[in-house]
Amino acid sequence: MKRQATIDRSTKETKIKATVDLDGTGAYDVSTGVGFLDHMLEQLARHALIDITLKAKGDLHIDFHHTTEDCGIVLGQAVAKALGDKQGITRYADVHLPMDETMTRVAVDVSGRPYLIWDVNFSQPKLGEMDTELFREFFQAFAQNAGITLHIANLYGENNHHIAETCFKGLARALRAAIAIDPRQAGRVPSTKGSL
């Protein structure tokens, strides 16, 4: 069964279409109008080995908030749809992601119970033109709509670019492991309840 999905979402604030292939090669074609967000979503695709095509048009003349949050919504919905009933997945995964002086821990439970723990602080209000407070908005929207429990903690670091990038790469690596098919599951849903 192919684990692919497309979500097309239009509001008065944004118009976003995203396609994911959970068993891809990490190929990406991303255009949000927010350069730093594009860079982070490309990192997510490459390191999760999830093919992501995402095109967004948003009210950037106001600010980047709606576009960033709505990209998280649409991408999360696409991942959830592609996962289907989650038969055979590994479910849990975690990673410590280093980047130069920075270390971030990310843990994931593909549980169907959305939750975000965000223990990340930035010393600057912006990275390029992007408000650093918007990173939490993206991960919150993604976790809620993908139906995952997501814990992200920056353990240490000084460079704000590195801190943000380790959050995205950490999610990528943890998600890659958690959604991988475990041959020992033999197609079962990884829960004693029988569903997630």
Residue 37 lies in a domain: yes
Residue 194 lies in a domain: no
Helix (H) or strand (E) holding 114: none
Find residue 11's DSSP bridge partners. none
Residue 49 lies in a domain: yes
Contacts of 107 (CB under 8 A, 6+ apart): 92, 93, 94, 95, 150, 151, 174
Strands (E), the chain: 4-10, 14-21, 28-31, 51-58, 92-99, 102-109, 115-119, 126-127, 130-131, 149-156
Buried b / exposed e along 141-150 (16+ C-beta atoms within 10 A): bbbbbbbbbb
Angle at 190 between CA 186 and CA 191, to 5 degrees: 135
- DSSP character for 184? G
Residue 196's pLDDT is what?
Answer: 85
Residue 196 lies in a domain: no
Distance, CA of 26 to CA of 47 (rounded, Å): 7
Residue 186's pLDDT is what?
Answer: 79
Residue 194's pLDDT is what?
Answer: 83
Residue 12 lies in a domain: yes
Residue 93 lies in a domain: yes
0.95 exceeded by pTM: yes
**74: CATH:** 3.30.230.40
Mean pLDDT of the chain: 97
Residue 27's pLDDT is what?
Answer: 98
Residue 192 lies in a domain: no
Residue 27 lies in a domain: yes
| Number of compact structural domains in the chain | 1
Residue spans of the chain under pLDDT 70: none
The domain containing residue 73 runs over which residues? Answer: 4-185
Residue 192's pLDDT is what?
Answer: 85
